[in-house]
Amino acid sequence: MSDSKAFIAGCFGHRLTAEERDFFAAERPWGFILFGRNIGSAQQVADLVAELKEAGGRPTTPVFVDQEGGRVQRLRPPLAPNYPPAADLGRLHETDAPAAQRAAWLQGRLIAHDLAGYGFNADCLPCLDVPAPGAHSVIGSRAYSPDPAIAATLGRAAADGLRAGGLLPVMKHIPGHGRGNADSHLEMPVVEASFGELEASDFRPFVELRSLPAAMTAHLLYRAIDPERPATLSPVVIDTVIRGAIGFEGLLMSDDMSMKALRGDIGDLSRAALQAGCDLALHCNGDMDEMKKVAHAAPPLAGAALRRAEAAEQIIADGGEPADEPALRAEFHALIADLV
């Protein structure tokens, strides 16, 4: 993987086109990500994931998906069961903390089982954002709890479940999306809270889970930290907060560079994210013209970014532990039976 470049790519449809195969062979993205537009039949998904791994040139080429449960779940029945949103597990924690922790672990483990069956080896979970009153609903039920300690506890359980199933977990959206006043898919959210307020709440789950292997940035402007640049593009946020106050030393990928929170040429934006301290630029929409710009902006992985990428990929290489999936699923359904 030493010649892989510092970006993660999407693709447009259900199979790779000849142009995409040639592009990936030439530009060598470190990994890939799939979305709902890429999901058809079970065999088709498995074939596409296998094509992407072949394009990456390594059996451990990371292939990501957002499979959280609730409204963010790219694989749906009959390809994978629906799972409750994180907030439901948070509500369970209020009445039975051990049951909620076990349910969060089981959900991670069962999602890993579902995804691994198609060849996926990485999941953008857990969502550690701490929702604040009055914030935009884009996070909403994706968050475990407004209590940062509960968010950390359940997020850790979910990440441990994924790892037990051989998948690389990616915590998001560091350093915290819960106060966002807009949907970053559409426009730039601005956070007015002081550094002290953020440190007391938003940052805390990420501090607790700072030893996780990978994280995804938030496209948010934290006015008290960097009034000009969102976290993804801010060397101040990445150095002072993510690497400093939070103490995260793992692989840092951007959120999707094609989201409308970021304005400007996507090549320039990708270059800025990487220069700010992101290890990888994530580009999801499969638009070839945009991908070419991202690839042009992305250097070969080297130095600390390469070491972090290798450590993350080692988790994929290590694989998972065998499990009695029917028994785990029955236990999970018993625990969440009242979550309606």
Catalytically annotated residue among 22, 96, 185, 338: 185
Q: What is the dihedral of CA 320, 324, 326, 329, to 10 degrees?
A: -60
- For residue 174, give Cα distances in angstroms to 37, 204, 316: 26, 10, 22
Query: Which of 66, 114, 123, 255 is the catalytic position?
Result: 255
Has 283 been annotated as catalytic? no
Verify whether residue 255 is a known catalytic residue. yes
Q: Would you name the residues annotated as active-site residues?
A: 185, 255
